[in-house]
Amino acid sequence: MSGTLKLGATGGQILFSTSGTSGLATPATGYGSLYYGTDSQLRLKNDAGVITILGAGGGTGSGTSGTSGTSLGSSGTSGNSGSSGSSGSSGLSGTSGSSGSFGTSGSSGTSGTQGPAGAGLSYGDGGGVTNLAGSVDGSALTSVTTGVNNLAIGSSALRINAGGSKNIAIGYRTLYSNVTSSDNVAIGSEALYNQINNTNTFNIGIGTNALYANTTGSSNTAIGGSSQTTNTFGSFNTSIGKSSLSANVTGSNNTSLGYQAASNGTGSNNTAIGYNALQGVTGASNNIAIGYTSGQNLVGSNNTIIGPYSSPGLSGAIVLANGDGSSTIVIENAAISSGVYTANRRLPVTIEGVSYYILLST
Average pLDDT over residues 44-69: 56
Decide if 16 is inside a domain.
yes
User: What long-range pairs does 114-119 form, CB within 8 A, spacing at least 24?
Assistant: 119/153
Structural domains counted in the chain:
1
pLDDT-derived band at 196, boundaries 50, 70, 90: confident
- Contact between 244 and 257 under an 8 Å Cβ cutoff? The reply is yes
Count of C-beta atoms within a 10 Å radius of residue 136 = 13
CA distances for 17 relative to 6, 49, 71, 74, angstroms: 8, 15, 18, 22
pLDDT of residue 317: 86
Decide if 12 is inside a domain. yes
- 251-260, pLDDT tens digit by residue? 999 999 999 9
48 domain residue, yes or no: yes
The terminus-to-terminus CA distance of the chain in angstroms comes to 173
pLDDT in tens, 142-179: 999 999 999 999 999 999 999 999 999 999 999 999 99
What local confidence, expressed as pLDDT, does residue 172 receive? 98
**Tens digit of each residue's pLDDT (9 = 90 or more) over 205-238:** 999 999 999 999 999 999 999 999 999 999 999 9
Q: What is the pLDDT of residue 130?
A: 85
What is the CB neighbour count within 10 angstroms for residue 320? Answer: 14
Give the pLDDT of residue 301: 93
In a domain, 69, yes or no: no
pLDDT number for residue 146: 92
What are the CA-CA distances from residue 51 to residues 5, 34, 38, 45, 134 (Å)? 19, 9, 14, 4, 116
Look over the chain and give the mean of its residue pLDDT values, rounded to a whole number: 75
Inside any domain, residue 155: no
- pTM of the predicted model as reported, rounded to 2 decimal places: 0.61
Q: In sequence order, what DSSP letters do the residues of 299-320 get, joined into one string?
A: ---S-EEESS---TT--SEEEE
- What pLDDT score was predicted for residue 312? 85
Reading phi first (left if > 0) and then psi (alpha if -120 to 50, else beta), residue 216 is in alpha
Q: Which of 273, 330, 270 is nearest to 302 (CA)?
A: 270
pLDDT in tens, 270-309: 999 999 999 998 889 999 999 999 999 999 999 999 999 8
Instruction: Tell me if 8 is assigned to some domain.
Output: yes
Taking a C-beta distance cutoff of 8 angstroms, is the pair 159, 167 a contact? no
Report if residue 146 sits inside a domain: no
- For residue 171, the model assigns a pLDDT of 98
Work out whether strand 238-240 and strand 271-273 pair parallel, antiparallel, or are unpaired.
unpaired
Q: DSSP letters of 168-220?
A: EEESTTTTTT-SS--S-EEESTTTTTT--STTS-S-EEESTTTTTT-SS--S-
Phi-psi region of 248 (alpha: psi -120 to 50; beta: other; left: phi over 0): beta
- For 312-362, how does the pLDDT look when each residue is reduced to its tens digit (9 = 90+)? 888 888 888 888 877 778 777 654 333 333 344 556 666 767 776 665 544
Quick check: is 180 in a domain?
no
Judge whether residue 186 has pLDDT over 70.
Answer: yes
Q: What residue numbers bound the domain in which 48 lies?
A: 4-56
Q: What is the C-alpha separation between 323 and 306, in angstroms, rounded?
A: 10
